[in-house]
Structure 1
Amino acid sequence: MNGSSPGVEEGRDHAREQPSAVAWAESPLQLLCVVEACHAGLLGAHVRVMSRAGSRPLAATRRELARLALPAGLEQARPAPGPPKPRRGVTWVIGDAFSGRVQARWLTALPGRIVVVDDGLATIRLLELLAGPPGKPLLRARAAAGPLRSVLGAAAGLRLRAAARSGRLTVFTALPVPDDLGRAVRGRGTELVVHDFAWLRAQPPRRLRPQEPTVVLGTSLVRNGLIHRDRYLAWLAGVGAAGPVAYFPHRREDQGDLERVAAQPGVTVYDAGIPAEMTLRGLDPGQRVLSLPSTAVTSLRVLLASRGVTVEAVDVPDEWWTAQAAPSLRSHLSMFAHHDTGVTR
């Protein structure tokens, strides 16, 4: 006899089932980066990732991930309408640090650590706020927040900065963080971990991939009112006139805009749903990717560098921008257009 009662053994089994980290993903990129963070060993032995319910792109990404060799200990839980409440001491992994529901969780739970994964340009915004004056609320760059929302953002900022000072905050990113910003963030206590999609690069290329010589990544800048629609469509028509184009929409593009894109000569619109990093990682040598400045430019350059595929960021002419495009936004986007030397990689 081993001296252990069945009840004790059941308790031990139950303890083993408790996750070391709980992740909440609201976009395909966030979900992919949770997998990368698990692969990098940042999240412990048992990671439970929950994604937002009702999102077709997220559902497609979940199915694609299920076909691949996920890191040991990673469990995809059932989708849910809102973020889970992490148990005391469990690592909490999120992407959208500006979500009101996520911030409310910070104030009603006491996670052991907080890990923030990539959420596009908002990640750079978060790093700037963490490096800036301590009293600034965690609010989106273009948000028009009311008094209550501002109070929540300020309280969440205090909680997140306190986690940084105590060594319990990690930002996990593949983005080109300017060196001075990286130093400032680390100086405030945040652990900044830069990755290069090591897990995804180790997966076999996707069998279904476009054959067109040119691939264009869609953009949310039109729908967000930041660039003029007619200028963008005219540029796209010119690219299509030069040869067949595979167009992969941004998940936020308007359906009416996509119909106009599909009407351009030589342009075929694909409905991949999953992140471009997963869809296009198997492009053949000689193919090229064109994109307006975006976070995908950085990641695709990393993923496709060894395959002989060119990833080109298209500079946005001044006349494309609308009055809503603030100079700070243009500056942020420019860091994804070129191979800057003054960035953390």
Structure 2
Amino acid sequence: MSPRAGNTGPRTLAFVESPVQLLNVLEWAHAHAPGAGLTLVVLSPVDPMTRGQLRRMAELAREEGHEVRWEEARGGTGAPFHTIGGLMGPLRRAERIVMGDPFSRYVQLLLTITRAGELVVVDDGTATMEFVGQLARGERLVRWHRKGSRPGPRDLLFAPVSSVARRRLTPARGRRVAVFSSMPIEEVPDGVTVSANDFSWTRSRFGPPRITRGADMVGTSLVETGVVDGDRYLEAVSGLARAHGATRYFAHRRESADKLHRLAVETGLEVVRPDLPLELIARRGPIGRTVLSFPSTVVHTLPLALAGTDVRVSVCDIDPGWLTRTASPRAQGFLSGVTGSARDVHRLAAVAVV
């Protein structure tokens, strides 16, 4: 019998756009809906590396007994209309919606269609901290690295949809809202239920890993999002690798090929493009005894995924001098908060670059 057979619980529809979101939906299902299959809708991006990781995660989801619906949501001009049209029925029938990115315009548009009585937001990394804070303060939903910048024409055009989505994500009579997160959440909106993601599914499914003597580095997309200067970043990576004897660099799925090529040439690090989220890669092993990272989601998630092992996660602060002139005014404070609120990590001073 499939895990869905005989399920009398709410009909659940989950929307994901990244491998990490899909992983955290599996963690949520393991913690809150064991044995109850759900329908996972992958709103596929165009980036090849992200698509590859999503394919692998979709295989794991099917092995857990969940239905996976792959949507080429960005496959051309007519793709959004085809995707949304095909999801109208399931959206209206769903009693519970699980989503990985409440900032996504795609997800916000879908939220205007559903009348589900329960909405669940699972982790999309550090963005979850910002989402909950904005909801608590009654602010419009804006990604942290764009906050402080003037809204563009597309933002203004989409504002009515975003406003409706924000109301949908606010608890009300007949509508429950929950957040499932491994991130520290200080401001909890009235009526929102928060539960902790401790990566119990990951730990039960993979590992324990073989631990090597050396150090590994974790990449970040702060250059690609326009927050950190590319030259300063490469210099910092080089200095950190030399200081700690790192030999491998696990690339973030959004890092550009040109940047990674230059990094490999200039630092001598072996660049690894993971085929799964880093939490699963680390748990499968082999992994270095020390994992070096800049402020990012993994400084919160890796200690949980690697609980019970001897791996130490060390995080290097971002020097204000590394920020670009166009970086959000909130960037330094937000990144410092990501580091300062992390548990079970070793904090390193910013690497000096010249």
SS at match of 2:121: strand
- 1:88 to 2:93 alignment: yes
Would the aligned equivalents of 2:14 and 2:41 in 1 still touch at CA under 8 Å?
Answer: yes
Would the aligned equivalents of 1:93 and 1:115 in 2 still touch at CA under 8 Å?
Answer: yes
- 1:41 to 2:43 alignment: no
Q: Distance in 2 between matches of 1:236 and 1:93?
A: 36
SS at match of 2:135: helix
Q: Distance in 2 between matches of 1:43 and 1:306?
A: 24
1:11-39 C-alpha deviation (Å, 9 max, x unpaired): xx999799721111101110000001100
CA distance 1:301–1:36, shift in 2 (3 Å):
same
SS at match of 1:138: coil
Q: Distance in 2 between matches of 1:225 and 1:66?
A: 33
Would the aligned equivalents of 1:228 and 1:320 in 2 still touch at CA under 8 Å?
Answer: yes
1:117 aligns with one of 118, 122, 146: 122
Task: Give the drift of 1:58.
Answer: 4.0
Q: Distance in 2 between matches of 1:267 and 1:340?
A: 26
CA distance 1:281–1:44, shift in 2 (3 Å):
closer
2:132 aligns with one of 127, 134, 137: 127
Task: Give the drift of 1:89.
Answer: 4.3
Q: Tell me, which stretches of 5 or more residues in structure 1 are unaligned?
A: 1-12
The residue identity in structure 1 corresponding to 2:184 is P
Q: Distance in 2 between matches of 1:210 and 1:149?
A: 48
CA distance 1:310–1:148, shift in 2 (3 Å):
same
Residue 152 of structure 1 is matched in structure 2 by: 161
Residue 4 of structure 1 is matched in structure 2 by: none
Q: State the superposition RMSD in angstroms.
A: 3.0
Residue 215 of structure 1 is matched in structure 2 by: 216
Would the aligned equivalents of 1:240 and 1:264 in 2 still touch at CA under 8 Å?
Answer: no
Q: Distance in 2 between matches of 1:204 and 1:140?
A: 32
Q: Distance in 2 between matches of 1:43 and 1:126?
A: 27
Would the aligned equivalents of 1:164 and 1:190 in 2 still touch at CA under 8 Å?
Answer: no
CA distance 1:223–1:340, shift in 2 (3 Å):
closer
1:261-281 C-alpha deviation (Å, 9 max, x unpaired): 111343000011321111112
SS at match of 1:66: helix
| TM-score, normalised by the number of residues in structure 1 | 0.81
| TM-score, normalised by the number of residues in structure 2 | 0.79
CA distance 1:128–1:80, shift in 2 (3 Å):
same
Q: Distance in 2 between matches of 1:112 and 1:44?
A: 21
The residue identity in structure 2 corresponding to 1:132 is R
Moved more, 279-288 or 32-41: 279-288
1:76-125 C-alpha deviation (Å, 9 max, x unpaired): 33344256442334211111112222212222221231111111222122
Q: Tell me, which stretches of 5 or more residues in structure 2 are unaligned?
A: 74-82, 344-354
Residue 103 of structure 2 is matched in structure 1 by: 98
SS at match of 1:299: helix
CA distance 1:288–1:165, shift in 2 (3 Å):
farther
Q: Distance in 1 between matches of 2:193 and 2:34?
A: 14
1:160-184 C-alpha deviation (Å, 9 max, x unpaired): 21x4554511111111212xx13xx
Residue 42 of structure 2 is matched in structure 1 by: 51
CA distance 1:169–1:256, shift in 2 (3 Å):
same
Q: Distance in 2 between matches of 1:35 and 1:61?
A: 13
Residue 238 of structure 1 is matched in structure 2 by: 239
Q: Percent identity?
A: 33
Would the aligned equivalents of 2:126 and 2:297 in 1 still touch at CA under 8 Å?
Answer: yes
How many residue pairs end up in the alignment?
Answer: 318
SS at match of 2:283: coil
Greater gyration radius? 1
CA distance 1:212–1:253, shift in 2 (3 Å):
farther
